[in-house]
């Protein structure tokens, strides 16, 4: 079998990518409890919110309160999306020590998402990345729609290469390649990663899959064979992008961690506690979450309960 990494960093984006897409406004106190539960489960990188316009993403309008309310723990990095200088100032004032900038590989999605061309967005980052770095804040970046755009369809893989180059030259420590609408297939992931990794060290590249068509875990496997050691996911499979019609939830952290542990790859995450965090999220969003691991876990518990009841009944007879 191809050599795979021994350890993977799971970059949890549920509180941001997940909750930005929920119809129901989740109370700030529930978000904070949720993030605390993720920390308890052993996640070391958590994207907790976005300092974006509340007109564009009303679900995350409480960014400051969330950032100030979560329990900070040594060794746990909390991050937030920042689109412009105003967002950076708010993030810094709220105590963020890591931020993420974002843009798309396709013009139409970029325009719909941040109301700028790709070139204008890169220019706007000049106002964000250098001052963030000067303040000692780490900066990550997303390139969205790398594998397909909801408006333009196919996207030239060279876009991911060019944008990764531009972003790393600016000083971001890692670029996460996003399959925003969940259309990537394993062969495509193999090809894009070959192109990007030809220019960049492995630790500077992460992958971010949505699971619209059920290909996210297969795509992760291909990324692992390339040596990728950071994978984004969202607990329970919460998520989507409000400016990407058809985008389903992110790859579920539960499914990813379940697969990695079964393969003997370490994550430092406690799966039972992760499931508790998924259940907490399902309760406050008010609907079932798509994670398959979560469903299987609930099924297993129900079977164990039935067996125990059956044994009790037999004992009483
Ligand atoms: P705009 O309308 O062009 O900008 O939006 P503007 O400067 O005219 O500002 C509009 C209003 O927002 C103004 O308020 C500003 O003050 C305010 P008004 O005067 O009308 O009351 N504003 C802000 N408020 C708070 N924080 C800020 C901020 N900036 C402006 N930082 C803008 C441009 C970029 C602000 C807007 O388009 C925006 O916020 N977009 C965010 C979109 C977003 O968050 N999308 C989802 C995340 S991306 C994603 O999900 C993909 C990813 O997961 C990877 C993948 O899956 O591929 C990362
Ligand atoms: Mg996403």
pLDDT band at residue 69 using 50, 70 and 90 as cut-offs: very high
pLDDT of residue 155: 98
Pairing of strands 230-233, 77-81: unpaired
Q: Whose CA is nearest to atom 1 of ligand 1?
A: 115
Closest among 301, 303, 241 to 276, alpha carbons compared: 301
Kindly give, in sequence order, each residue whose CB lies less than 8 Å from that of residue 308, ignoring residues fewer than 6 positions away: none
pLDDT above 80 for 307? yes
Instruction: Work out the percent of the chain whose per-residue pLDDT is above 90.
Output: 86
Closest-CA residue to 183 (of 226, 153, 161, 156): 153
> Average model confidence (pLDDT) for the chain?
95
Which atom of ligand 1 lies nearest, measured to the CA of 113? Answer: 42
Q: Would residue 241 show up in a list of annotated catalytic residues for this protein?
A: yes
Give me the residue spans of the domains in the chain: 9-316
Probe target for ligand 1 pocket from 52, 88, 232, 233, with the most ligand atoms within 8 Å of CB: 52
Rg (CA), the chain: 20
Residue among 53, 104, 216 whose CB has most ligand 1 atoms within 8 A, to mutate? 53
Is there an atom of ligand 1 within 6 Å of 141 CB? no
Nearest CA to ligand 1 atom 23: 53
Q: Is the pLDDT of residue 314 over 90?
A: no
152 burial (CB, 10 Å; 0-12 / 13-18 / 19+) is middle
Q: What is the pLDDT of residue 10?
A: 98
SS3 of 214-283: the string is CCHHHHHHHHHHCCCCEEEEEHHHCCCCCCCCCCCCECEHHHHHHHHHHCCCECCCCHHHHHHHHHHHHH
Catalytic residue among 141, 143, 241, 282: 241
Relative to the CA of 145, which ligand 1 atom is closest?
A: 57
* Ligand with an atom nearest the CA of residue 50: 1
Query: Does residue 12 contact residue 269 with C-beta atoms inside 8 Å?
Result: no
Alpha-helix runs per DSSP H in the chain: 28-40, 63-69, 85-93, 107-114, 118-125, 129-134, 157-170, 186-197, 216-225, 253-262, 271-285, 292-316
Is any ligand 1 atom within 6 A of the Cβ of residue 50?
yes
- For residue range 156-211, list pLDDT tens digits in order: 999 999 999 999 999 999 999 999 999 999 999 999 999 999 999 999 999 999 99
C-alpha dist (Å) from residue 259 to 155, 181, 236, 271: 29, 22, 14, 11
Query: Which tens digits make up the pLDDT trace of 209-248?
Result: 999 999 999 999 999 999 999 999 999 999 866 666 666 7
Closest-approaching ligand to the CA atom of 242: 1
Which ligand 1 atom sits closest to the C-alpha of 102? Answer: 58
Which tens digit of pLDDT belongs to each residue from 1-27?
678 999 999 999 999 999 999 988 999
Mean pLDDT of 27-46: 98
Which superfamily does CATH assign the domain made up of 9-316 to? Answer: Aldolase class I (3.20.20.70)
pLDDT of 123 over the 80 cut: yes
Does ligand 1 come within 6 angstroms of the Cβ of 180? Answer: yes
User: Would the pLDDT of 266 be above 70?
Assistant: yes
What 3-state class would DSSP assign to 136?
coil
> Looking at the CA of 177, which ligand is closest?
1
114 close to ligand 1 (CB < 6 Angstrom): yes
How far does the centroid of ligand 1 lie from the alpha carbon of residue 147, in Å? 23
Q: Which atom of ligand 1 is least distant from the CA of 247?
A: 56
Contact predicate 251/224, CB 8 Å: no
């Amino acid at each position: 079998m191809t050599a795979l990494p021994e350890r993977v960093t799971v970059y949890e984006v549920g509180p941001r990518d997940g909750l930005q897409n929920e119809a129901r406004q989740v109370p700030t106190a529930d978000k904070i409890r949720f993030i605390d539960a993720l920390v308890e489960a052993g996640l070391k990188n958590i994207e907790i919110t976005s300092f974006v316009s509340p007109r564009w993403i009303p679900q995350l309008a409480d960014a400051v309160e969330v950032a100030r309310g979560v329990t900070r723990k040594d060794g746990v990095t909390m991050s937030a999306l920042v689109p412009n200088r105003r967002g950076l100032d708010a993030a810094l004032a709220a105590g963020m020590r890591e931020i993420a900038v974002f843009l798309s590989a396709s013009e139409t999605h970029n325009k719909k998402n941040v109301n700028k061309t790709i070139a204008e967005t890169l220019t706007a980052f000049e106002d964000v990345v250098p001052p963030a770095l000067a303040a000692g804040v780490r900066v990550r970046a997303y390139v969205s729609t790398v594998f397909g755009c909801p408006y333009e369809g196919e996207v030239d893989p060279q876009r991911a290469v060019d944008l990764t180059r531009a972003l790393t030259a600016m000083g971001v420590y890692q670029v996460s390649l996003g399959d925003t609408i969940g259309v990537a297939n394993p062969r495509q992931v193999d090809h894009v990663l070959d192109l990007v990794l030809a220019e960049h060290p492995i630790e500077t590249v992460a992958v971010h899959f949505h699971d619209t068509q059920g290909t996210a875990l297969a795509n992760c496997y291909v990324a692992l064979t390339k040596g990728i050691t950071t994978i984004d996911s969202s607990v329970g499979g919460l998520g989507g992008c409000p400016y990407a019609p058809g985008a389903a939830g992110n790859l579920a952290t539960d499914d990813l961690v379940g697969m990695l542990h079964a393969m003997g790859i370490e994550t430092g995450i406690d799966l039972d506690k992760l499931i508790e965090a998924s259940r907490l999220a399902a309760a406050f969003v008010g609907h079932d979450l798509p994670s398959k691991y979560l469903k299987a876990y609930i099924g297993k518990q129900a079977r164990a309960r039935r067996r125990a009841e059956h044994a009790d009944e037999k004992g009483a007879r």
